[in-house]
Structure 1
Amino acid sequence: MAAENSPRQHPGLDLDVLTPWFTEHVGPITGQLNAELIAGGKSNLTYRLSDDANRWILRRPPVGKLLATAHDMGREYTMMSALADTDVPVPTMYAKGDADLLGAPFYVMEAVEGTPYRKASELAPLGADRTRVIAERLVDTLAVLHSVEPTAVGLGDFGHPEGFLARQVARWRKQFDAAHTRDLPAMELLHAQLADSVPPESAAGIVHGDYRLDNVLVDGDGQPRAVLDWELSTIGDSLTDLALMCVYHRMGAMGGGVTDVALAPGFPSEDEVIARYAKASGRDLSNFGFYVGYSCFKLAGIVEGIHYRYVNGQTVGDGFATIGQAVEPLLQAGLAAVKEN
């Protein structure tokens, strides 16, 4: 076992413990196995592993107590493995390990070269034409994903698509109730309208669960090389992916959210994104207002949960004091979307 302050030991990753497992399950190592943390915090820990000749990626949950269904490494590994022989760009999966080795389940995958664009300021230097190409290919890739028949790639038992939308609406109402710090009449109204207007279920398909540009690695030609971060993936109504991406873009335009890429010169408008997806997928989007309303409800629930933790002194760092201000605009946007449905 490595000493506590050894450079061979990182948060959630002890290389001296990992190396024998790695050589048995992934392959031989040239020289010494090294690691660099490239994403961490409260999200899954992502390490770049390397030896003298090769590179890999190791993913595991954050260190500490976790919700039973959060940070699901097995879900990510299963989904990307299933998509390996499809036209959806995913990294090659090499092996997964159980919690006995590193204290939590983990997996090792191919290190794919590419850029996850999160900010409009990162796209702007590329120019409007290149930005449009990147955005259009992002939409096209989503349509390709949604064309995959789950049973054809061994995912027939991966989720429970029957009643998916109704369950999701109920789930996020429970999230609001669990994070209650203030009265939100707009939330009550939006929930009631969503519950009363659940559209007929479309064919069950793959749902990424968090599809946006910064969860896709893009190469220098603007081509998606790998879709990442599948921990929320399931089988259900795939149109929720398109709606959620659009709502992320709306949040960015309001000055909040995790990404503002839609503000970059050349990035297609929401109407253009929807039209391109409809053409590529052949899907009926006549009830799309419901999906946008639901996605606003879901994101508002996530933000309200963060606000709850801030109010109760459970957050660490800056930027949380005003996050609750994004909830009401999201709820109002959801009400408008359902009304226009």
Structure 2
Amino acid sequence: MTQLNKQWLLKQRPVGMVSPDNFELVQSPMPSPDLDAGQVLIKTLMLGFDPAMRGWLEDVRSYLPPVAIGEPMRASGVGQVIASRNAALPEGALVQGLLNWQAYSIGDPAGMIPPRILPEGVTPGIALSVFGTTSLTAYFGLLDVGQPKSGDTVLVSGAAGATGSVVAQIARLKGCRVIGIAGGAEKCAWLTDTCKLDGVIDYKSENIDARLTELCPDDVDVFFDNVGGDTLEAGISHMADFGRIVLCGAISQYNEETPQPGPNNLMILVARRIRMQGFIVIDYLDRAEEAFADLANWVMGGDIAWREDIQEGFENIPATLQRLFDGRNQGKQMLKLADPQ
């Protein structure tokens, strides 16, 4: 067995745009799990990348502690158990969890997010994409926080991303009229032709406010926002009375050296009695099987489309994170390190 563990550690906190220079590639001793206590040794096969990872680099109070300087970067992943005395996590099993940017990790069933065995037939790519935390975020954020009703108009920003595309399609399946906001003709065409949205706004070539006036003459009942900034402000202006705004992310703001002020139209929330609420998917992990059951039915029925953007190579891990913030990713961003044995 290899005696060294490759890791990407956080070297310095980013100021502005995150870059590979914020991380350091090292070789560390192989982790030693307490096999008698049920811990297992996991070899990383594939890593997932999400915009939320940028927030974990900030030294501020949040729903998870910040990644410390000198620690491996936190990340979801799929791996294979290679050492175990735990019958529930046997050697050879494929598992999903927080594996971080490293070749090997310890899986602890008593941890905050314990490793979970992949269902038979589910590949690492599917586990991290359509059956991953981004889809759980979409499911609970839309249905529990947004509470759409059949006939509602639902607006989704970041609609071509891993979370936004699933939000938009669940809304469609629930009988809603769905408008998406995305960047670039190719992404917008995918949303219209494959995901079957009712309308799409290309923020790179169109004015969001003007297009919302055209596409949503009766205003928006539910706005699922992944972008923040000017997009959030435009969406607020077009909300219906008693509308619901779901705050999932603000990818337009994550790499700003100085946070953008605003929105400047928050009094609309008062006048139109709008509810605007943030949420975090870890609050719903005890209900994950509920979401997986519905997602599995929709996926097997061909009702939800998704895309996987898979890079390769341990040396390319930091650069793959950066792809999320310059718009190069096409769907769920992942990186493959190895095949199952």
TM over 0.5: no
TM tier, shorter chain? under 0.3
Higher helix share: 1
Higher share in strand: 2
Q: Give the alignment's TM-score, normalised by structure 1.
A: 0.21
Q: TM-score, normalised by structure 2?
A: 0.21
